[in-house]
Structures are given as C-alpha cells and as structure tokens.
Amino acid sequence: MTNADREAATATALVAAAKAGDGRAFDSLVKRYRKRIFALALHMTGSAHEADDITQEVFLKAYRALPQFEGRSQFFTWVYRMTVNRSLNSRRDRARRGEDTIDDPRLELAMEVYARGNPGREAELRQTYARLLRALDSLPIDMRTTVILVSLQGMSHGEVGVIQKVSEGTIAWRMHEARRRLHEAMAPEKLQRPRALSAELARLLTEAGMPILMPALKPRA
C-alpha cells in the first residue's frame, strides 16, 4: 500500500466515524487538511484574511454536508473543490468591488521562512519570487488553478482533473502552456542574456514548491 493509499484509507475511516457522530474524527480531518486548504486559498486569493475565512467556511460547510457525502470522491478532493470554488468567487467579488491587496502575504511568508534574516538572500529571493507570483497571477484562472494544485500542492494530474472536472490530458496541456507562459514572463528583456539563478535561490524555490524557470549558476570549481 502506498502512502497515498494509506492516507485515503485513513481519511475514509475518519469520515465514516464522523458521520456516525464522532466529533473528534472530524476534528482529526480538519487537522490533517487545514494547512493545505489554507495554503490553497492563500495562493488563489493572495489574501491571508480571505484565506483564513475561506478555510473556516469550507470546513463548516463540509461538516454540515457530511451526512450527504456519499464518498464517490475522496474527502480531500471534496474539500479542495469547495476551496477552489470559494476562492474563485472571492477573487471575482473583490475584482467587482475594485479592491486589491497592497502587500502580498505569499511574498512576505516566503521571506520569513526562506530568507532567514540574510539581507542578500532576501533581496534576490524577493525580486524573483515577486516576479514569479505576478506571472502566476496573470495566467487564465483555470490554468493558474491547475498550476497551484499541481506545482504548489503536489497533486497528481489525475487528482487535479477530478477537482477541476477535466481530463488528465487537459491538465497536462495546461501545465505545459503555463510553463511556457511563465518562462516567457520571467525572461529578461529581449536580446539580453537571461541571468541565471544562484544555486542557493534555486534550492530555496524548489523547497518552496515554486517551479524553477531559469537555469541555476554552476558552482565554481
């Protein structure tokens, strides 16, 4: 049995226990998935406040709808789909109101976790990460959602296809096209040679789950 199989079996057992009236079982489901649901909402909305509200709303909605949950999909797929839909609605509502976030919490969180108080590292990481986030946010919404689920949440094409209700082939095409667009957006001005990332920044972006779009500098011998 793979880790994914064990995870699915555990979640299924917890759902069954929660449906039977075990409140602690649902609390366990929340603890298992809360961080990932919050991270998903944060990347999709760009607002920590909205992400926190969405996370609470999603689990409350899941709890209330649990008696009707038939288990045709995995629990995490169910709550992920609710999170995606709620996040998309939140962004549309904010756009209609003409509102936007001034400070991107995704960028500040990355600085806090990965810069580690190193000014030089922070300067390089902040500039590159900010450009990458802007490029990511400029993608069509369905494509951006696919990238977030695959690259930042580590989900398989099959799992994302279930959440977005499209084929694995569509997910594969979206990822291919997204990489092309992100690479183009991240490239320096035309006719200039692309500046390579330092090996340290490449490693940090990999740890953060962000795609590496430019080659890393080779360490000197």
- Alpha helix (H) ranges present in the chain? 3-19, 23-45, 48-65, 75-97, 105-110, 119-137, 141-147, 157-164, 168-186, 199-207
Closest to 214 (Cα-Cα) out of 129, 117, 119: 129
Please enumerate, as own/partner, the contacts of 54-62 that have beta carbons within 8 Å and a separation of 24 or more: 54/83, 54/86, 54/87, 54/90, 55/83, 57/86, 58/82, 58/83, 58/86, 59/30, 59/34
Q: At residue 209, what is the residue type?
A: G
CB proximity list for 22: less than 8 A, separation 6 or greater: none
Q: Residue 218 — φ and ψ, nearest 5°?
A: -75, 135
- Mean pLDDT confidence for 20-45: 90
3-state secondary structure of 21: coil
- Mean pLDDT confidence for 74-81: 90
Which comes out higher in pLDDT, residue 218 or 10? 10
pLDDT confidence of residue 128: 76
Per-residue pLDDT tens digits for 94-125: 666 655 554 666 776 666 666 666 676 677 77
Contact 48, 40 (CB under 8 A): no
Least confident of 4-13, 71-80, 108-117: 108-117
In this prediction the pTM is 0.69
